[in-house]
Structure formats: C-alpha cells, structure tokens
Amino acid sequence: MSAIPTPAGSFALPAAKLRTMVSESSTFQTEGNHADATEALDKIFLRDAIETERRPMANIRIGQQFSYSMVSGGSQSFLRPSGELFLYLNREISVDHFNDQLSAEIDAANYFGQVIDDVVALSGKDVHLPIIGTQLMTFEPTDEDEWPTLGRFYYHVTAVQWGMGQ
C-alpha cells in the first residue's frame, strides 16, 4: 500500500481538520475505547467503507458547496474560502436497548449530540476548522430487514459549514 498523501488545498485540508476534531472528541474516544485521538483517527474515514473489513465510526465527505468570497479590508482585498462537509456518525444499538426503541434512540441522540458539541467547542481554536454552522440532515436506525447484514445501529448525518466568517 502506498503512503497516504498529506492533506493540502481547499478541498482536502478542511476534511482532514474535521477528521482531527472528531478524533479529539472525548465522547468519540470513549465510545470506541480509544486511548487517544491518534488511535481514534483509525475509525474516521474520508471515504465510504464499502468493501473494507473495518466499519468506520465516522465518515467525512466533501459537500457540494464550496466558494471563494471577496473580502475587502482597507486598501487590500482577498478571497476567503468557505464550504460544506458532511459528517456521518454511527452507533451500534446496545443489547440492553434491543427491545426498547425509545431508550435506543435517546442513547444514540445523546452520543451524536455530545460528539457534535465536542467538535463545535474546538471550532476555530488553534489549527482547527472554523465552523460557521451545522445542520442535522439525518438521524435514523437501520431498517429491521437490514439487521442481519448491516447490524443494528443508528446513523446520523450533520452538514458542517466552514469558513472564516465575516
């Protein structure tokens, strides 16, 4: 297997930064029994996990929105990038909640919300991605007819808008 290129540029760098932010979430680390953020990175993919032996706990995809906007400041003007990423999270339903849909849903909602809270708290700090908005896109359990092949879990998608703001 060849070495993975270092993320650079306006498309890859924001996705890599969001991946790092998710790995630094204490909630994400605890859920996956990861010792630290470096270990947690192994469960965050920047692509689909189809045809892989490992199922990711998170997946990040580049969204359809990306632009440069002109920013004027005194005698200087420059272009500032902004865009959208999609953060996919999943959580297996605990055996304790197999027959209690309400508890399973609250448990999953708590987990997803805490990971998003952790990520948003890091926004713009140090070298982290400056998040300017988020929007819940999907929060669903797997269909019962898919349990034998996919497993029993909840999945969640949040659109993450990033940019330097005004």
Model confidence, pTM: 0.87
Q: Which two tokens stand for residue 10?
A: 């306006």
Domain residue ranges of the chain, discontinuous segments joined by +: 9-163
Q: Per DSSP, what are the bridge partners of residue 71?
A: 78
| DSSP letters for 37-79 | HHHHGGGEESS--TT-SSPPSEEEEEEEEEEEEEEEETTEEEE
Q: What pLDDT is recorded for position 166?
A: 44
Q: What pLDDT is recorded for position 35?
A: 93
Q: What pLDDT is recorded for position 120?
A: 97
The answer to whether 163 and 63 have CB atoms below 8 angstroms apart is: no
Q: What pLDDT is recorded for position 75?
A: 78
- Cα gap 129→132, rounded to integer Å: 9
Taking 50 as the pLDDT cut, the residues of the chain under it are 1, 166
